[in-house]
Amino acid sequence: MRRRFAGLLALVIATQSGFAQGVANLLGFTAGFETSYVDRGGANTTNVDVLQCFSGRYYRHAFVDPSDPTGRTRRIVGFRIAVQDQVGYTAEQFTLVGYLDDPSRPGTPDVSSNGAGVWFRTGRINTPPSAATGPAIHVITVGFNPPATPARMTTSHGPTDDDVYFGIGLASGTWPAEGLGCRVTSDYMPNVQSATPLDVVGPRLPASPVPPNLICVVATTGGAFPLPTGAPAQFPGIPGRRGDYRQLELDVLTFAPGGVGVTQTNQLHYVISQAFSSPSPIARVPLGGTTNMLSGLHPDLHNAAASIPPPPLSPARADDFGFLVTEGQRPNALVLARISFGPLQGGGNPDGSQAVASIPGFNASGSVGNVCVDLTDPSGITFFGVSNSLGRHQTMVAMNAATRAFLAAYGPVDVTWQGFVVDLATSPLEARATGCVTQRL
């Protein structure tokens, strides 16, 4: 019961919260994110879990438990989610939930009717008070305490067994007249109004109907302890194009450092993806850009997505890509961002990664996470910098025309990022590692 229905510890309206063990980091999946619309995954009048997939093919070792020096245990401590109540003054309730991957159908959540695939579910949470007679938007940060390791998690960290599905349980209602919906970002689709923020995704996003790691919905029984009642439904996409991809405005809190891919674009419809003219000391993405699972993971380096087509009068794309580290427990610290063209192999963990704390010279008691990029690969690059007062540091790779032309001729490339926040005042050195993120160029 404890595994499925996690104890609710805190409910605050904030971007970032302090918890008993220290500052919890928002990992950054929605740091550079614009809302396209509000949606319930098509389940307008039924009980449903709306889930976001966090895929081990893109985000490896992202949810490590910093209290485990081997880096083999996952733990999260909360979510930040944006919801919209269609009639603000009538209170609504929701739950937050995590599903494991289905061992018989990797890449989909386990919807066993007995709830065996549910990692955790909170108790029912009330929306904050509102006097609005129309829609009210709530950006809510919730801290909770699911068990550190899902009961069925293995230590292999393979291409799919790290997939987890986080989301929100919504009660039946009369949407869109009343009830809760989720804020969503979406890719560009034809014949939309120009005011709608939509992201033209780079060419490496897999063709529909094979969503790489976006939304699915699971019908549930509702009530105090919802259980799945059917197969997960994924948005089918649009025949002949990479369309209808959506991402929830849901971020994850952990005590480990956050690390996400960043893409800076010149898109007219997705303004948040543009670079800032000067660094911001308070922005979640200090140099600007999107960290979403669309262009954030799939840049367009040489206008290859022009064939989609993009919105009328859009300029040619020449995206720059990079990596964002967030470690609120260690502000103004040395940050290393490593870009590699393959994972680490030969380490002590089953997937070839190596616990940071096992590396001589970096085995301080505060060292956290796994090294999962090859630090000795001569083709890799390590960038150095210092985080700001909020513990954020952004690294960008600005490419010239010759490099873009070479990559266009070379063909698709996967690059993997990992960040390390290093405390030079300790001996041995303390190094806190982010997860590894793969961007598809």
Preceding omega of 428 cis (within 30 degrees of 0): yes
Tell me the residue range of the domain where 230 lies.
7-440
Q: What is the pLDDT of residue 64?
A: 86
Distance CA 147, CA 410 (A): 45
* Structural domain contains residue 67: yes
* Structural domain contains residue 224: yes
Low-confidence ranges of the chain (pLDDT < 70): 1-22, 151-162, 190-194, 206-213, 235-243, 308-309
Q: What is the pLDDT of residue 243?
A: 62
CB neighbour class for 166 (10 Å; exposed up to 12, middle 13-18, buried from 19): buried
Q: What is the pLDDT of residue 128?
A: 92
Which two tokens mark 387? Answer: 């985080």
Q: What is the pLDDT of residue 398?
A: 87
How many domains, in total, are found in the chain?
1
* Structural domain contains residue 278: yes
To the nearest whole number, what is the mean pLDDT of the chain? 85
Q: What is the pLDDT of residue 20?
A: 38
With residue 402 as reference, give the H or E element that holds it.
helix 401-410
Preceding omega of 315 cis (within 30 degrees of 0): no
* Structural domain contains residue 1: no
**What are 360-398's pLDDT values in tens digits?**
899 898 898 999 898 888 889 999 999 999 999 999 998
* Structural domain contains residue 2: no
Per-residue b/e over 54-86, b at no fewer than 16 CB within 10 Å?
bbbbbbbbbbbbbebbebbbbbbbbbbbbbbbb
Q: Answer for the pair 268, 200: CB distance below 8 angstroms, yes or no.
A: no
Q: What is the pLDDT of residue 12?
A: 36
Task: Enter the pTM of the model.
Answer: 0.91
Question: Percent helix, strand and coil across the chain, each rounded to 5?
Answer: 5, 35, 60
Q: What is the pLDDT of residue 126?
A: 93
* Structural domain contains residue 340: yes
